[in-house]
Chain A
Amino acid sequence: MNMNVEIDHRATKATAPELNAGPVVSIVNIGKTYARGNLVALSDVSFDVGRGEFIVILGPSGAGKSTLLRCINRLAEPTKGRIYLNGKEITDRRRELRDARRQIGMVFQQFNLVTRLSVLLNVLSGRLSYRPTWRSFFYSFTREDRAIALECLEMVGLGHKVFQRADTLSGGEQQRVAIARALAQRPNVILADEPVASLDPKIARQVLKYLKEISQRLGISVICNLHQVDFAREYAERIVGLCQGQKIFDGPPSELTDDILNKIYGMRAEADGD
């Protein structure tokens, strides 16, 4: 019974944002220069992210993919440009930033779970921004939060591992818990920073499949950093190619020609042959 109520709740949530039909995330002329050594990590990158879109940011390591994602939820502070979430600019004002961050889930290469806590508590930590601090002193969550967390765990096929400690899980399972944590935020967009770089190809496909499903079924946009071309071609609806901090491609996988790939990967692709 409870589950039905939850799913209804989600359905209304998913349709509500259609009131403003614009892009979920707008990235406008974002640039980042590191003061030390004048290293330019990003220069003038702009693109819009549509609702439920699955975008892959493709590029070699050091291209600025990670910096770009981290500028969106301001884990890194851009030195230039603006970012809009549902038409509202994301600033570094604490209260506003917290509101923005709750709508942006994030998945990391190293999973970043609190390994000594149970799977359930890890997923519940996605609900923290909705609840007052005093509850955290008692590790207490509302019934609604627990229902949401369990539902999110079911969605990534880990409903049976709820009470296990996170460090007893395999890498692929840990990443799925991390996805459930991001889902528990009820986000509009999920940022995935090289989510499969520490996983073997078979498990990697499984994790990417979950992310893709999320974008299709729940209408949550996914921006996913990858360095593997084959994965990008297989899963992306749209690919943004980054090289040395600049956007040099933006289009569907079908338009990603070998010529463009050579540009993205520079001379390295020619030399390595992959």
Chain B
Amino acid sequence: MTSLEATIGQALDREAAWRHRRIAVRTLITALCLFVLWLAAVRINFSFTSVVLGAPGMADVFGRMFPPDFSYISRLIAPTIETVQIAVWGTLLAVVASAPLCLLAARNTTPHPLVYSVVRVFLNLLRSINELIYALLLVSAVGLGPYPGVLAIALHATGMLAKFVAEEIEHVNRGPIEALQAAGAGRMQIILMGILPQVLPSVVGYILYRFDVSIRSATVLGLVGAGGLGFSLITTMKMFKYHETAASIFMIIVLILMADWISGRLQKKIL
């Protein structure tokens, strides 16, 4: 009996020591996080006062924008269509490029583990660069206009799409694949008849989501000279025609809301 009490006593001591150590560690981590946040705040000149003090300036900008020059919208129709065209072709190119890449980047369809690793790294590189940066580089490479915008969106979206589909392929139900194998089907036949039907709904849903994102990106690509509504935005602003800038922003909002609504409707239909 006494030995049991002794054992419990020792266990309690150990538990207390463990608890105190945990409290100490957590306090330290919290302090460290706060310190890092404070450092970051100093570096970015974080201040509430500048927001308050800047209020008149903001009011001034909005005042000069208001009311939006809605007559300018007639001249925004072409750039709006161009924005949609950039997004459509950018997404489409990404879909085409992703088709082979996703197969190479999925563990269960890749021809070799080495290919898998190389393609995965390549896709991560593609994804890690923002569309705007691609556009900046491509504008200087292929010149101003919507085409570098298309390529910029295609590059980024390929990285995103191929990785997403590769992961879907890896999570496919193994049973039907095995059944097709047993029936003597070839590699490509298994992919087309066994894997594709399983991943299709989520892949189509993701392509629609990607299209939605591409439209948002396409609206800003014009800022670096890659066509579309962003180009109207930046040129009117540089010419201090703020009422026309406001009209451009209005058009961007309308376009994004429409894209959101359409892709939402289509996704609901598919799923």
Binding site for B on A (CB under 8 A): 73, 75, 97-102, 104-106, 108, 110-117, 121, 125-126, 128-129, 133, 136-137, 139, 178, 181-182, 185, 191
Q: Is the CB–CB distance between B189 and A185 below 8 Å? A: no
Q: Is the CB–CB distance between A98 and B175 below 8 Å? A: no
A113 contacts across to B, CB distance below 8 A: 176, 179
Complex Cα gap A102–B201 (Å): 30
- B197 and chain A: residue at smallest CB distance: A116
Instruction: Tell me whether A128 and B186 are in contact in the complex, defined as CB-CB below 8 angstroms, given that A112-B176, A121-B193, A136-B192 are known contacts.
Output: yes
B73 at the interface (CB under 8 A from A): no
Complex Cα gap A191–B188 (Å): 24
Q: Is the CB–CB distance between A136 and B183 below 8 Å? A: no
Q: Is the CB–CB distance between A181 and B175 below 8 Å? A: no
Complex Cα gap A111–B185 (Å): 17
B188 contacts across to A, CB distance below 8 A: 133, 136
CB A167 to nearest CB in B, in angstroms, measures 11
- A135 and chain B: residue at smallest CB distance: B189
Which residue of A110, A115, A185 contacts B183 across the interface (Cβ within 8 Å)?
Answer: A185
- A126 and chain B: residue at smallest CB distance: B183
Instruction: Tell me whether A101 and B183 are in contact in the complex, defined as CB-CB below 8 angstroms, given that A116-B200, A136-B192 are known contacts.
Output: yes
B175 contacts across to A, CB distance below 8 A: 108, 110-112
Which residue of B178, B186, B198 contacts A75 across the interface (Cβ within 8 Å)?
Answer: B178
CB B120 to nearest CB in A, in angstroms, measures 26
B211-245 CB mask vs A (1 if < 8 Å, else 0) is: 00000000000000000000000000000000000
Q: List 8 A-B contacts (CB under 8 A).
A: A105-B182, A108-B178, A108-B179, A117-B193, A125-B179, A125-B194, A129-B183, A133-B189
CB A48 to nearest CB in B, in angstroms, measures 22
Give the contact-size bracket for chain B: 20 to 34
Complex Cα gap A139–B183 (Å): 17
Instruction: Tell me whether A125 and B184 are in contact in the complex, defined as CB-CB below 8 angstroms, given that A133-B189, A137-B192 are known contacts.
Output: no
Instruction: Tell me whether A125 and B183 are in contact in the complex, defined as CB-CB below 8 angstroms, given that A112-B176, A133-B188 are known contacts.
Output: yes
B189 contacts across to A, CB distance below 8 A: 128, 133, 136
B180 contacts across to A, CB distance below 8 A: 125, 128
In this complex, the member of B178, B184, B193 whose beta carbon has the largest number of chain A beta carbons within 10 angstroms is B184
Instruction: Tell me whether A125 and B193 are in contact in the complex, defined as CB-CB below 8 angstroms, given that A112-B175, A136-B188 are known contacts.
Output: yes
- B187 and chain A: residue at smallest CB distance: A133
Complex Cα gap A240–B28 (Å): 67
Q: Is the CB–CB distance between B197 and A102 below 8 Å? A: no
CB B98 to nearest CB in A, in angstroms, measures 17
A125 contacts across to B, CB distance below 8 A: 179-180, 183, 185, 193-194
Complex Cα gap A194–B4 (Å): 53
CB A47 to nearest CB in B, in angstroms, measures 21
Which residue of B181, B184, B197, B201 contacts A114 across the interface (Cβ within 8 Å)?
Answer: B197
CB B32 to nearest CB in A, in angstroms, measures 43
Complex Cα gap A87–B220 (Å): 70
Q: Is the CB–CB distance between B193 and A104 below 8 Å? A: no
Instruction: Tell me whether A105 and B181 are in contact in the complex, defined as CB-CB below 8 angstroms, given that A121-B193, A128-B193, A133-B189 are known contacts.
Output: no
A121 contacts across to B, CB distance below 8 A: 193
A108 contacts across to B, CB distance below 8 A: 175, 178-179
Instruction: Tell me whether A128 and B179 are in contact in the complex, defined as CB-CB below 8 angstroms, given that A114-B194, A114-B197 are known contacts.
Output: no
B194 contacts across to A, CB distance below 8 A: 114, 125
CB A243 to nearest CB in B, in angstroms, measures 26
CB A138 to nearest CB in B, in angstroms, measures 9
Q: Is the CB–CB distance between B176 and A128 below 8 Å? A: no
Complex Cα gap A139–B197 (Å): 11
B20-60 CB mask vs A (1 if < 8 Å, else 0) is: 00000000000000000000000000000000000000000
CB A81 to nearest CB in B, in angstroms, measures 20
A133 contacts across to B, CB distance below 8 A: 186, 188-189
B201 contacts across to A, CB distance below 8 A: 116
CB B213 to nearest CB in A, in angstroms, measures 26
Instruction: Tell me whether A75 and B181 are in contact in the complex, defined as CB-CB below 8 angstroms, given that A112-B175, A114-B194 are known contacts.
Output: yes
Complex Cα gap A116–B197 (Å): 6
- B177 and chain A: residue at smallest CB distance: A112
A104 contacts across to B, CB distance below 8 A: 182
In this complex, the member of A106, A116, A125, A185 whose beta carbon has the largest number of chain B beta carbons within 10 angstroms is A125
Q: Is the CB–CB distance between B183 and A106 below 8 Å? A: yes
Complex Cα gap A116–B194 (Å): 10
